[in-house]
Amino acid sequence: MKTLLTEIYEHDTDVDVTHKINTIELENWINHLKYIKKELKNLIGLYSKDLTNRINDQVVLQKFQKKEIENDTLLNALYNYMNSRKGISECEDTQCDLAYINEHESYRRSYLYHLDKYRRLKDDFFKKVKGKFNLLNINPSGL
């Protein structure tokens, strides 16, 4: 579904509104996971190039690499899920609508679990690197 199809109208049923909100939410999840993908690439690069000698702990790097795979797996699953949602408009009964809604709830739990684990990993990383950087004292005016 495209964003244009997610506009909510007064005549929409509660189920239609739920499907539209779920579609918007799914698009947000995908965008967030795409950002996390870029962030993980940067964190892995930073750790590999600049922090390997300062932090003698390869476990952090391995955890980032594992999380990168998990992020890609979830992202691909959400893309497939988005494609499968095209059949929502074909639903003719409540049971069909509930199947889509229940599936969405399952993906919501997976997304939130992934996000929580990723945030904890980042927090651990920043605790380990705290104080390991020499910040440059740069004058913003360039003088």
**Tell me, what's the pLDDT at 17?**
87
From CA 100, how far away is CA 58, in angstroms rounded?
42
Q: Which value, in Å, is the radius of gyration of the alpha carbons in the chain? A: 21
> What pLDDT is attached to residue 47?
77
Per-residue model confidence as pLDDT tens digits over 60-92:
889 999 999 999 999 999 999 999 998 898 888
Instruction: pLDDT band for 33, please (50, 70, 90 cuts).
Output: very high
Name the pTM for this structure: 0.81
- pLDDT surpassing 60 at residue 11: yes
Amino acid 58: pLDDT: 76
Q: What is the mean pLDDT of residues 14-41?
A: 94
User: 94 pLDDT exceeds 60?
Assistant: yes
User: Interior CA angle at 13 toward 9 and 16, to 5°?
Assistant: 80
